[in-house]
A and B are shown apart, each in its own frame.
Chain A
Amino acid sequence: MKTALITGVTGQDGAYLAEFLLGKGYIVHGIKRRSSMFNTDRIDHLYQDPHVSKRNFVLHYGDMTDSSSLIRIIQEVQPDEIYNLAAQSHVAVSFEEPEYTANSDALGALRVLEAIRILGLEKKTRFYQASTSELYGLVQEVPQKETTPFYPRSPYAVAKLYAYWITVNYRESYGMYACNGILFNHESPIRGETFVTRKITRALARIKLGLQDCLYLGNLDSLRDWGHAKDYVEMQWLMLQQESAEDFVIATGVQFSVRDFVNAAAAELGIAVRWEGTGVNEKGYDADGNCIVAVDERYFRPAEVETLLGDASKARQKLGWTPKITFKELVSEMVREDLRKAERDELVKRHGYTAPNHHE
């Protein structure tokens, strides 16, 4: 029986991957940060009481910025596989917190690699680094594949690029099984609420039920290659099951704009959006003429990444992987789940209780 350690287990990918690995019979350990709020929503269904004997899902307190916690946990767990998914993963926030982003995303990856090395686990422990399509930033060719030169455009992307290179360096210099999955955007009903796809499905569901009036977005023309996180975590695992470590692009190869995403999500709710105006004045109206989508310049990034489109031919050829869930199915599932949550809030409110009212 194999043991896996997941950093970032409380995130979208961490939750899907933990569930996937448990299904494969793994013992799964996860690292979570101490927070003043509960932060395990996404994995609460996997939780096992510490009093239960022979647990196969164990959480540890730790932090990517705290090397001694990482070394202690890795020593204790002696994992066969480490999936490094933990990161300050929000591009816009990285402009506000460049130093913390580098500390957790760049130094964090290095700390894990160093821990593997100094604990003498180079031959035992396989390492997966969550790299990102944001590395391509100002894209140098279309579509982007493993050999496309990088051109990062945010502190997040630059920190992730460091982690990418240091993973390659440790593989080549120490012979470690360490690889990068360059994953294009991947979404799901448990995507963080501040990421654009989830922000859209959540807001439209709430607008539908009268809990909210308008959805404010940044660049509606941004083009992205959106897949389903559930498909992508399978790839993360596959990459660690090969003869030798290699880096792979994971993507659907299909591209939509943010506006397309809004239209698709609205359609799932039976709303036809009528667009008027251009640029910052562009607005989306429902059939009754209510403005339900508007542009807010505050969501523009200092440097925009206009277009990302992945070419996952290598993964298809070498790993036999193709994404199973289509864009339409992804949007549909996200809308369905967010509508249920909105219905719950509406119900709670109607009965005189306070419904959660989160803001960015």
Chain B
Amino acid sequence: MRTALITGITGQDGSLLAEFLLGKGYRVVGLVRRESWFRQGSSPELPEGVEILFGDMAEGVDIASAIHDARPDEVYNLASQSRPGESWSRAPETLLVNGLGAVRLFEAVRHHSPECRIYHASSSEMYGQACESPQDESTPFNPVNPYAAAKVYAHQMARIYRDSYGLFIASGILFNHESERRPLHFLTQKVAYGAACASLGIATSPATNEMGRPIVEDGVLSLGNLEVARDWGYAGDFVRAMWLMLQQDIPDEFVIGTGTLHTLAGLCEIAYGAVGLDWKQNVVSDPSLVRPLESGQTLANPSKAKQLLGWEPTVSFEDMIRRMVAAQVENLRSLDR
């Protein structure tokens, strides 16, 4: 039986990947911070059969111990401080976890099990104010926040460990990917939640936003710039790409995205449309929510992944949003019961 170690297993991608790998017959071990475990309780989203090791990406010894104890054939490095906006106020921690954490992992694998294959989670945020569109594996990086700069650091270090030591490290440059498990502070989930509230006639939502205000207040969902466009894919498709990258003969870098742009307004239209409502009656653009230094428009060119991995998205944007709204409606109803 093959063993996979997943860092960041309590996150959206981690839990989806754990399910996927268990389905493939893997033994799955998750590295989890004690605080995130006890905050969530035994996470309902983690499937039966996942083994848990406690440890922190900010502590080198924890990572080395996890590699030593779990003896993985594959490691999926998904752990990170994953909020670009918040990285301004948590810049050192972001580099410590997202950057140095990755290097500690590479070092541990190099010393304890050099045959182990590593998937490293890079991000389209690295393109920042991208100098070309769409972006592929050769597009230069231009990070515009501490999160992106830390991701560039880890991405380049992955390349160095691959080139200099011959480690099998594949880097996935993942564009935005969403699912029913996205936390509420992500844009797509916020909109899905807003649509669900509207369909159930909830004028003031129980859940609050980053400023501590209800996400839906007086029947209105406040968002930033409605014209921002993103390449949003379905996370379930993306975790399959992670696994595929580790089944190749040689480690490489891959852009994973849909190659299609949708605006925030378009997203709202689908989400509210899914519950038979007109989004324009329920959503406003609030200038105070516009980010000071927006990342540029990022659009994936996933041809390399298509060609070499045979990877293509299977869930459409519309389907994904409808699923997310349905899950939020179900969730709100169960709160009511």
Q: Which residues of A contact B (CB under 8 A)?
A: 67, 95, 98-99, 102-103, 106-107, 110-111, 114, 149-150, 152-155, 158-159, 161-162, 165-166, 169, 172-173, 301-303
Contacts and interface: CB of A to CB of B under 8 A. Distances in A.
A313 to B, nearest CB: 21
Nearest to A165: B149
Nearest to A94: B160
B91 A110 contact: yes
Contacts of B160: 152-155, 158, 302-303
Contact of B103 (A102, A161, A172, A302): A102
Contact of B146 (A67, A152, A169, A301): A169
B103 A162 contact: no
A158 B153 contact: yes
Contacts of B176: none
18 contacts: A99-B60, A106-B99, A107-B92, A107-B95, A110-B146, A111-B92, A149-B140, A159-B153, A161-B152, A165-B152, A166-B91, A169-B144, A169-B145, A173-B292, A302-B160, A302-B163, A302-B165, A303-B164
Given A102-B103, A107-B96, A162-B150, A95 B164 contact: yes
A305 to B, nearest CB: 12
Contact of A114 (B92, B104, B145, B148): B92
Given A153-B160, A155-B160, A110 B92 contact: yes
Contacts of B60: 99
Contacts of B140: 149-150
Contacts of B156: 152, 158, 161
Give the 3 A-B CB pairs with smallest separation, nearest first.
A302-B164, A165-B149, A149-B140
Nearest to A102: B100
A172 B293 contact: yes
Interface residues of B, number: 29
B143 A169 contact: yes
Contact of B143 (A95, A98, A165, A302): A165
B149 A169 contact: yes
Nearest to A111: B92
A155 B144 contact: no
A81 B95 CA distance: 25
Nearest to B126: A165
B88 interface: yes
B99 A102 contact: yes
Contacts of B88: 173
User: Of residues A102, A103, A106, A162, which shows the largest number of chain B Cβ atoms within 10 Å of its Cβ?
Assistant: A162
B252 interface: no
Contacts of B144: 169, 172
Contact of A106 (B95, B145, B148, B165): B95
Nearest to B292: A173
B221 to A, nearest CB: 27
Contacts of A111: 92
Contacts of A95: 164
Contacts of B149: 162, 165-166, 169
B292 A99 contact: no
Given A110-B92, A159-B153, A173-B292, A99 B143 contact: no
Contacts of A165: 143, 148-149, 152
Contacts of A173: 88, 145, 292-293
A239 B95 CA distance: 27
Contacts of B275: none
Contacts of A110: 91-92, 95, 146
Given A67-B92, A98-B103, A106-B95, 14 more contacts: A98-B157, A99-B100, A99-B103, A102-B99, A107-B95, A107-B100, A110-B92, A154-B160, A169-B144, A169-B146, A173-B88, A173-B145, A173-B293, A303-B164
B104 A99 contact: yes
Contacts of A153: 160, 163
Nearest to A154: B160
Interface in B156-181: 156-157, 160, 163-165
Contacts of B146: 110, 166, 169
Interface string B62-95: 0000000000000000000000000010011001
A71 to B, nearest CB: 12
B320 to A, nearest CB: 32
B153 A102 contact: yes
A114 B100 CA distance: 18
B278 interface: no
Nearest to A148: B140
User: Of residues B157, B160, B292, which shows the largest number of chain A Cβ atoms within 10 Å of its Cβ?
Assistant: B160
A159 B150 CA distance: 10
B217 interface: no
Contacts of B157: 98, 155, 158
B305 to A, nearest CB: 22
B312 interface: no
B137 interface: no
A103 B100 contact: yes
A302 to B, nearest CB: 3
A133 to B, nearest CB: 16
A166 B92 CA distance: 11
Contacts of B143: 165, 169
Nearest to B157: A158
Given A102-B153, A114-B92, A162-B150, A155 B103 contact: yes
A281 to B, nearest CB: 24
Given A106-B99, A172-B144, A99 B91 contact: no
A237 to B, nearest CB: 27
